Amino acid sequence: MDLQLAHVRALGAVARHASFSRAAAELGVTQPAVSMQVRQLEDALGLPLLERVGKRAFPTRAGEILLAHAARAFHELDAGVERVQQLRGVVAGRVRVGTSNSISIYLLPPFLRRFRSRYAATELVIVTGNAPDIARAVVDNDLDVGIVSLPVRARELAVTPFFDDELVAIAPPLPRWRRRRTIGAEDLAREPLILFEPGGTVRHVIDAWFHRAGAAPARPMELGNTEAIKKLVEAGLGLSVTSWFSVKADVRARLLAAIRLQPALVRKIGVVRRRDKPGTPALDAFLAGLEQLRASLAR
């Protein structure tokens, strides 16, 4: 049976987004074209591959089976293309990276810019999420590499230390806060606080720091976005605890004051990938670039 790759890719895009319109946007074609490709694939196989529920679409059991095999086939095809490009002296291919919003915004952009400039034939896919979800996606081979808060607990993963992230208290740039050098958990807990939403690794680290000191913030405001937290702190609505690397530019611009925590609080960031995942020219180049970034951050 001669199945067209474009039809299988269309099916995969619809399954990922549960939407024909979003699949069409990802593939750069019209929604009717995606519908036609999926219908032709279903006609060729003689079974429905998607179940339509209102405006959403989900793979049937037949669709799941086909997509599971197709994922392995596409991986091998992409690897073959990368190896052929390597024969031409070109590093090409796709690297799928998962990380947190803060790391993607404040740590990676200069490195990603250099990488894309040097390896223009590569495709970088950056996905953001919390550490457990990113680690799970790496285990499932939906992502090639994760840059996440540690620890992660999965036997399938190899973990390489990447960066020690010091967390600091941030406050409005008032003299009382700019003069202060350190602050402990008990003093900080007495202030109105704006913290990250529960569930993420950073919030867990912060809560554990308060707990070790026998302190507990009273009903903090909770947000999921670092930039939003910084703006509320800048506006004088409370203090927060966040990564030094995410606020150092604001502190230097005198938009915020940063105060070191006492005792110091550091979260470990690591690079995770499957132990059994074979290297590709693009992935190897990306990992080498991350190692250079790690060394520069350590300096």
Domain count for the chain? 3
Q: pLDDT, tens digit, for every residue of 198-231?
A: 888 889 999 999 999 999 998 899 998 899 999 9
In a shared domain, residues 31 and 124: no
Q: Report the CATH number at residue 15.
A: 1.10.10.10
Listing DSSP states for 170-201 in one string gives EE-S-HHHHS--EEEHHHHHTS-BEEEPTTSH
Q: pLDDT, tens digit, for every residue of 265-287?
A: 999 999 999 999 888 888 999 99
Q: Predicted confidence band at 89 (pLDDT cuts at 50, 70, 90)?
A: low
In a shared domain, residues 228 and 180: yes
Residue 296, judged by CB atoms within 10 A of its CB (0-12, 13-18, 19+), counts as exposed
Q: Which residues in the chain belong to E strands, given as ranges?
A: 50-53, 56-59, 93-99, 122-128, 145-149, 157-171, 182-184, 194-196, 221-223, 240-243, 257-274
Among 36, 67, 98, the domain boundary falls at 67
In a shared domain, residues 280 and 202: no
The domain in which residue 243 lies consists of 164-267
Indicate whether this model's pTM tops 0.85: no
Whether omega before 151 lies within 30 degrees of 0, making that bond cis, reads yes
Residues of the chain with pLDDT > 90, as a percent, come to 67
